[in-house]
Structure 1
């Protein structure tokens, strides 16, 4: 894993690009009014079996409380029991984004959302029900572009 402390940089370009991606994704599934990006200093839980640089994840957001963003990040094909605390570690949102940049655009989705971030496609659910991807949205266009390769 890459290390902390936070390496602050001059300028806002990267932050603005990330916020734009997060906005486009929340709008794509009709949750723009509930967009809730965590602070990079907030924490989240990750499965101990996630390889550095891994690219298939399950992201699930519970109720954020205090410094806890509510996010859990695990492997999509795990054999590990994530209900066992010994299989989880708490790290900062910043550290998680450094280690697994692919998760960053999804972290502004609100409580109750789950994202199955797979190589072939991305599935969005909330409360166990699929979220419809709006026609003409960023996610639809991105998905079409990736499946045509």
Structure 2
């Protein structure tokens, strides 16, 4: 079974973060520029929250707020569910399904070392299944 450490090793993405006092507009722009759906919110090198496209749509747009005037800290989720790099893809999928979230920061000793998305996990599962299919085809063909 694939573990999160393996996914992070293949992605080699820098961790995209924003400060709680930055504007939501800057957060959304950073997400759009980097084609991601979330940013970790860091203050003094410490994880203090996460902001997602879902937060933006539900807590800014639908409430008639202004993106440039609203601060990240006003809409970010402060109860951040995190995982360890030794967790399996299956365990993380269960967490995401149960908590209805799409992004999981990966933490070691209170330091964010990466973020995995539901897309990263699905891609890993498909790759694992493709490998099994190829092995079975090889076995059947002799």
TM-score computed with the length of structure 2 as normaliser: 0.31
Flag the structure with larger Rg: 2
Q: Which of the pair has the greater relative contact order for Cα pairs under 8 Å at 6+ separation?
A: 1
TM-score computed with the length of structure 1 as normaliser: 0.30
